[in-house]
Amino acid sequence: MRSAVSAVLAAALLAPGAARAQPVSSLSGPGPDTYIELHAGAYVPQHRDLDGVDPGYAVGGTFGARFSPYLGVEGGVGWLRATGNEGGARLSVSDVPITASLRLRAPYRFAEVSATGGVGLHVASLSSEILPGSSATRLSDTSVAFGLHVGLGVGFNLSPTMLVGADVRRSFLEPKFSGTGVRFDGLRAAVTLTYHL
């Protein structure tokens, strides 16, 4: 009897909270649901052109708008950098991607899963520093190239307006340095923090 009463009391106490709880993925009010997302994580080169480059880091932010619980558009900017050694030279690569993406979502009560794809304008830099004895020779070049990207993400609701999660994004681009194309294909794995405005 005591356990039955406890169960009824627990249900009565929890029911109002459960009724008020709603996923952060739900739209409210007129117009699109807008949000900002920050990410920080690792960048891993994915092409043999960058075999001498070790994994580096990536940071950035996104502004997005959802027009339904399942579909949204995003604009983002980021910065990534990675270095390594090859053939007695120290290599350094960096990229500033300015992207436009389409995001498809599967919202759940406490989380959401998403897939994204889009295009980007990349300001890519490649530098090489050779140290023969005591004198250093440094070569550096910057190129602008268009690229494509695809990705997957997951976010968990911290509050009605905030999610924390992770995403993985693969990018494909080939900037030209001194007339020679270099594949800057890479994989970005990051922790994300999203705030709905």
Which CATH number fits the domain that encloses residue 128?
2.40.160.20
- The residues, ordered by sequence, that sit 6+ positions from 180 with a Cβ below 8 Å of its Cβ are none
52 Rama sector, left if φ>0, alpha if ψ -120 to 50, beta otherwise:
alpha
What parts of the chain have a pLDDT lower than 70? Answer: 1-31, 131-136
Q: Look at residue 155 in the predicted model and tell me its pLDDT.
A: 96
Q: Look at residue 49 in the predicted model and tell me its pLDDT.
A: 84
Greatest alpha-carbon pair distance for the chain in Å reads 86
- Please answer whether residues 124 and 173 qualify as being in contact, where contact means their C-beta atoms are separated by less than 8 angstroms: yes
Domain holding 184, by residue range, is 2-196
- pLDDT for 112-167, tens place per residue? 999 999 999 999 999 988 766 546 677 889 999 999 999 999 999 999 899 999 99
- Please answer whether residues 115 and 152 qualify as being in contact, where contact means their C-beta atoms are separated by less than 8 angstroms: yes
pTM: 0.79
Q: Look at residue 87 in the predicted model and tell me its pLDDT.
A: 74
Q: Look at residue 135 in the predicted model and tell me its pLDDT.
A: 60
| Total domains, the chain | 1
Q: Look at residue 68 in the predicted model and tell me its pLDDT.
A: 92
Q: Look at residue 133 in the predicted model and tell me its pLDDT.
A: 57
